[in-house]
Amino acid sequence: MTDPLALTATELSRAIAARQLSCVELMQASLARIEALNPRFNAIVSLREPDVLLAEARARDDALARGERLGWMHGFPVAVKDLSDAQGLPTTLGSPAIGKRPAAADALFVQRMKRAGAIVIGKTNTPEFGLGSHTYNPVFGATFNAYDPSRSAGGSSGGAAVALALRMLPVADGSDMGGSLRNPAAFNNVVGFRPSRGRVPAVPAEDAFFQQLGTEGPMGRSVDDVARLLSTMAGWDDRAPLSLTDRLPDADAPDPIARMHGKRIGWLGSIWPDLPLEAGVLPLCEAALTSFDAIGCVVEPCTLEFSRDRNWSAWLRLRQLLVGGKLGALYADPGKRALLKPEAIWEIEQSHALTAAQLYQASANRTALYHAFRKLFEHYDYVVAPTAQVFPFDAALTWPRSIDGTAMDTYHRWMEIVTPFTLAGLPVVSMPVGFNA
């Protein structure tokens, strides 16, 4: 086999199971790819020693020779987003305030990937605390776009998306509160899926009840690969009381395209008429809608009957509650506060001004938004909107200060288009539709 990295994860899995490709060969190819490209793109951080990784790959081959296959990810090299724990590797959160102490245990989804046969080779880079859809931090530096290293990789799963696009990894995990699986997937032409909240249990978690905005999820270069990784990451756990109990459909289910005929697709466009988008974003997405026509879907414009102001108000307050609450102890320590990025300090200080009445109203607005989507789904099987308001921007920027002449009043306002789907708790997939000029 000349280039195993050209295969999808699903194809790799079958090739390894059939002994057409060894786990050592796959690990060697991945490590060579990382050695060649990572110095320029900086997707992988905290890489483990190659000799140790090759020994683990050899052990996977020995197991196959004995007829022991752990699962569909047998021998796969994976790197865990540096917001989640992988035993023996530091979880830095991209912040000098955290340090580089090795994690004592794996996060639940990492345990599940290992049980399916994966080998953790390191971590993928992320913005500090995952704040903002642009991957840079003072610990490891910036990650650069897979197609143009002068531009942003997106975030906060930017390292994961770039590692996928450059074929360093067959699949990757990510996480998403404000588009952090979706935005970097769009910026790097891969697939990112934010599952329903509770589909992938957050274990360990300091808060299992209030935190209902963020979730881990899968990324890949094909929908098939993403579905398979989701089936590995997902599943109820009693340490996550709000995790979902129903089983996912089999990843080997019959061709889903055949079941799409006659489905109704609602095109939301920019969602709100006054939401600014960079020139070219809407036409690119609208051109991709013809793919639905080609498989027999009915596509028509639709409107979300919910105001932009109510959505943004709910988003700001609920995010400030969660981010400010989680990072509050760091802020309380003057030495660590001095190491925090300005956006983290802003979130924390905004959270200090929140009242119970404001938080109740934010939750009520979120509930009303959910019902607005429920009403849409009485008429449509799926709704579609752009993943991002802008194309990948200059990596030297911290964040876009304006879109189409409209000033951005917060560090995350340029990602506003993703927020209603987060607030409503909907499963959302980001699909590649092409490039700008």
Would you name the residues annotated as active-site residues?
Answer: 81, 156, 180
The number of beta carbons lying within 10 Å of the beta carbon of residue 254 is: 9
- What does the alpha-carbon distance between residue 282 and residue 367 come to, in Å, rounded to a whole number? 28
Nearest CA-CA partner of 177 in 336, 385, 321, 305:
321
Nearest-Å Rg of the Cα atoms of the chain is 21
247 to 172, 238, 244, 328, 404: CA distances (angstroms):
22, 15, 8, 37, 44
CA-CA distance, 57 to 62, in Å (whole number)? 9
Q: Is 404 left (phi over 0), alpha (psi -120 to 50) or beta?
A: left
CB 228 within 8 A of CB 251: yes
Residue 293, number of CB atoms within 10 A of its CB: 11
